[in-house]
Structure 1
Amino acid sequence: MSPQPDVSVVIPTCNRPELAVRAVRSALGQTHRNLEVIVVIDGPDEATERALAEIGDPRLKVIPLPERGKAPNARNTGARAALGRWTAMLDDDDEWLPEKVARQLELAEAAEVEWPIVACRMISRTPRADNVMPRRLPEPGEPISEYLVVRRGLFYGDGFVQTSCIMAPTELWRKVPFTVGLRRQQELDWTLRALCEPGTALIYAEEPLVLWHQDENRERISLENPWQEQLEWLRNSRHLFTPRAYAAFTLSVLSSMAAPTRDAKLFRELLNEAREHGRPGAVDYLTHMQIWALPPSVRHHLRDLVVGRGNKDKDTERQGTPHAE
């Protein structure tokens, strides 16, 4: 490895040594080897420090923080310490496929903008099924807020961005840090704010390069439902969304967080929020109603059946289907 790594990898972690080691090994195992891996341990955590010390790779750097500040703060700390021209984020419960960094570097170097934000597809792995997300890539001229949140069907994942999929210039991460204190939608918030900077563009690798583990038997930020906090964030971030995207986010993401309350008043409040400040479409209304009508376990099962079937059909098409004789 040269003294100056091409890419810095930032992994925030806390009290999950086995997961952290798995994530680190997937980063160190990249085919593009001129990189550094910065693990930011979010607060006192001797078990993780010991586990990482056993890896024995000089490209690994560990930054233990004296107290917990949560993942956005840890990512910002890692970006400030990065030596690479590019920085890629990796959550401690995810893994990278071996070609991830090499492929994104190709796209970054070929980009015609000063600050390309390079994302990729990923394999979303649940206890029930594997699905490839996002299911489609942005269309020319499509507003990114609409691409990321407007559904074309009843299930999320048409457009998508996730932290472990993003690589961007290190200077951009420092100029546009993660919002400390925001528990959900951290990557959506960062992406929309970063794209407000001149000279930026969102570019996707077509192939899935990340394995997103959605284990449902352990604590995960994405399983929290802070709907009041998210509604406040959405209202403060209205300038980042088109009216169509604002309504879609309200009736899908916010709705899914608020639905466990079974509060009919809140059901109507979200409808009014979407109508007053956004422009809902038919799919948004249907999404809102099915989220409140069906238990999460039923929705998850239906989504895996429908989306998983679609992914299998696409795989068959790519491989070539033999004609019946």
Structure 2
Amino acid sequence: MAEVPISVVIPVYNRADVIPRAINSVLQQTYENFELIIVDDASTDNLEDVVGRYHDSRVSYICHETNRGGSAARNTGIDHASGKYIAFLDSDDEWKSKKLEKQFAEIESRPPEWIAAYCGFDEERQGITSTIRELLYQRLFTEAGQHYCREGGEELIPDILMMQARVGGASTLFVDSTAIERIDGFDESMQRHQDWEFLIRLLRQGKMAYVDEKLVTKHRYDSPSLESVIDGKNKFLKKFSDEIREVEARGTNIKRPHDKHLMKTFARNGDFSQSYKYYKKLNPLRTKEYIGLMESVSKGIYQRIRTL
């Protein structure tokens, strides 16, 4: 029997400077009957000292002896969780105060086949190019600021395969712990796209509800490395190749959004020749796609200047 209704898992690596914001957002929840499990993935900063300043019986700290990656850290938290439900929070994100209260009430009100819930989110991006991009989105597109809000089960999988399901990563998720156990947690071989991979397997087990409020704020600081994106994407596309063929047979192009993502990733890392190859393949781009590409190009130029 679960000791608490909700277990909160924060995986963290070298985030001593920002993790207090995440921890505080959990401790300030209006729903207070939870445990908070912080899993340190062998950090080399003073993370343990920072976490040790919290004198709250609901907070526990676990440290890996070696760095094993975010998915492994989440799985360690899952293994130590006693809650009926598990909520995940990335160490650089934060929750609004009613996040757990709203999602717990939503799932408890649904039939048993509803095994998860997610919610809306805000994004706070760093840098002038990201600010310009957001302003352009607000001016040019009426849907700016709105988020994907579909509910359901396996019918959502094509959206995830096409990178259209803006779920907001693990920080928005609230999941039945028995469902997580059935799918054996996160795939530890995935460096990127692990949230999508997790969701696809989860949606084969049951349905996911949506709480129509922005209850998470995502903070973006670092761009993922080119190598991790390519590796994660190759593994993701290979793992779900059968599902992709089935969806594409119905006339939906799964490859385009992934090619677009690679185009932007190469540009962001200053590899403009490889980015241009994808640009030629995808052209013509839509206006929103041009804005995203220009933001990535500006970041790539900045990266090149820094290395001079």
Same fold (TM over 0.5): yes
Instruction: Using the aligned pairs only, state the percent identity.
Output: 24
- CA shift, 1:229, in A, is 4.2
Q: Is the 8 A contact 1:147 1:159 kept in 2?
A: no
Distance of 1:54 and 1:211 partners within structure 2 = 24
User: 186, 190, 211: which is aligned to 2:198?
Assistant: 190
The amino acid of 1:53's aligned partner reads G
Distance of 2:87 and 2:224 partners within structure 1 = 20
Following superposition of structure 1 onto structure 2, how do residues 244-263 of structure 1 map, counting pairs within 5 Å?
244=252, 246-259=254-267, 260-263=271-274
Distance change (3 Å), C-alpha of 1:191 and 1:270: farther
Following superposition of structure 1 onto structure 2, how do residues 70-149 of structure 1 map, counting pairs within 5 Å?
70-127=69-126, 128=131, 135-138=147-150, 143-148=155-160
Distance of 1:261 and 1:149 partners within structure 2 = 26
Q: Deviations over 1:167-210 (max 9, x none)?
A: 1011222332111131221111110111122xx11211100000
Q: Is the 8 A contact 1:134 1:158 kept in 2?
A: no
- CA shift, 1:288, in A, is 11
1:43 aligns with 2:42: yes
Instruction: Please provide the CA RMSD for this pair.
Output: 3.4
User: 167, 171, 189: which is aligned to 1:160?
Assistant: 167
Query: Normalization by structure 1: what TM-score?
Result: 0.73
Distance of 2:76 and 2:155 partners within structure 1 = 31
Q: Deviations over 1:90-143 (max 9, x none)?
A: 000000000000000011111223352110010111132598765242277993
Q: How many residues align?
A: 276
Distance change (3 Å), C-alpha of 1:220 and 1:78: farther
- CA shift, 1:265, in A, is 8.8
User: 229, 239, 259: which is aligned to 2:242?
Assistant: 239
- CA shift, 1:48, in A, is 1.0
User: What's the secondary structure of 1:16's corresponding residue?
Assistant: coil
Distance of 1:65 and 1:113 partners within structure 2 = 35
User: What's the secondary structure of 2:32's corresponding residue?
Assistant: coil
What does residue 304 of structure 2 align with?
Answer: none
- CA shift, 1:247, in A, is 3.0
For structure 1, which runs of at least 5 residues remain unmatched after alignment?
Answer: 152-156, 272-283, 301-325
Distance change (3 Å), C-alpha of 1:247 and 1:99: same
Query: Normalization by structure 2: what TM-score?
Result: 0.77
What does residue 315 of structure 1 align with?
Answer: none
Q: Which moved more, 1:113-122 or 1:75-84?
A: 113-122
Distance change (3 Å), C-alpha of 1:298 and 1:66: closer
Q: Deviations over 1:35-82 (max 9, x none)?
A: 000000001546111111111111000001111101000000000100
Following superposition of structure 1 onto structure 2, how do residues 2-13 of structure 1 map, counting pairs within 5 Å?
4-13=3-12
The amino acid of 1:135's aligned partner reads H
Distance of 1:135 and 1:93 partners within structure 2 = 20
Q: Deviations over 1:291-313 (max 9, x none)?
A: 6994334789xxxxxxxxxxxxx
The amino acid of 2:204's aligned partner reads C
Q: Is the 8 A contact 2:115 2:179 kept in 1?
A: no
1:206 aligns with 2:212: yes
For structure 2, which runs of at least 5 residues remain unmatched after alignment?
Answer: 139-143, 300-308
